[in-house]
Every structure is written in structure tokens, then in C-alpha cells.
Amino acid sequence: MIIESTRDSDLPALVELERLCSPHPWSEAMLAAAVGGSTGEQVCVARDEQDPQASIGFCVYRVVADEAEIHNVAVHPEHRRQGLAHSLLVRSMETAAGAGATVAHLEVRAGNAAAIALYRGLGFELVGRRPGYYSSPQEDALLFSARLGQVSQTSGGLR
């Protein structure tokens, strides 16, 4: 797997991947704004080493002052449970820390057990809840935060 910053030419593959992975996908315009950097977001992409043109996962994040916000993580269903989301998050947080971020925040559906386990394994801690935040189905959002200097080393997270 190769993880690197996205290029404009990645947009069609990211749109397809987002539609495949999310019941409520980001629009092409939202992804284009993130890839183009017009919203202050950054996007890193995971590529298959056998086919470097194939995008198999991505992470959208933004650094504001000393905080990083994880906005979106997607991994192709055929490549899940292989550590891609973990690697994408670690790379994003390393980049964010290099830009001065000391803490990272994210939110997740309360019923997304796999993502919650991933985030906890990286050292994220539950800091809040937004009741009924998500729709279709209605579900609470769980808010997680991690100090970037304290993300778990044992899980392969940031130091």
C-alpha cells in the first residue's frame, strides 16, 4: 500500500469509492473542494502497490490552529480489515502534528463498532455525544478526541 496526498486526477475514483462506502456519501462538489484545498481540508489516499492508479481508501482532515479535525475516512470494502484506515489516520495525524496540531477530533455513528474500536486503539477517547445527530437511521454521534503526543504507541499509533 502507498499513502500519499491526492491529486486532482484522483477525484473520480474518490467519488466512486465514497459512493461505495457510505450510505450518505459526500457529493462530488464536496470531495472536489477537499481535494482542491479550497475548504482548508487535506486528503490523503491509499493506493494499491500492484496498481498505483487505484485508490482503495482515503482520509479527509483539516488543521485549524492547533487542532486537527477528521472529516471522512473511507476504505474499499474488499480492502477492509487490513490496517488501511489505521494507516490513513496515522499518516493524517502525523501530517497534522507537523503542521502544529496537538489534538485531533472526530465524530462517529454510535453503532459503528468497527470504527469506534479503531479510534480507541489509536488512543482516541470519548468526550461527548450528539443525540439524534445522524439520520437514516437516526443515531447519536459520538465525539472522540486524542492528544497527538499521547496516541498509543502499542497500537502502532502516533508517539
Q: Which residues are catalytic?
A: 107, 119
| Residue 91, number of CB atoms within 10 A of its CB | 19
DSSP assignment of 49-63: TTEEEEEEEEEEEEE
Residue where the block lists cell 482520509: 59
For residue 2, count CB atoms less than 10 angstroms from its CB and return exposed for 0-12, middle for 13-18, buried for 19 or more.
exposed
Alpha-carbon gap, residue 72 to 107, rounded angstroms: 9
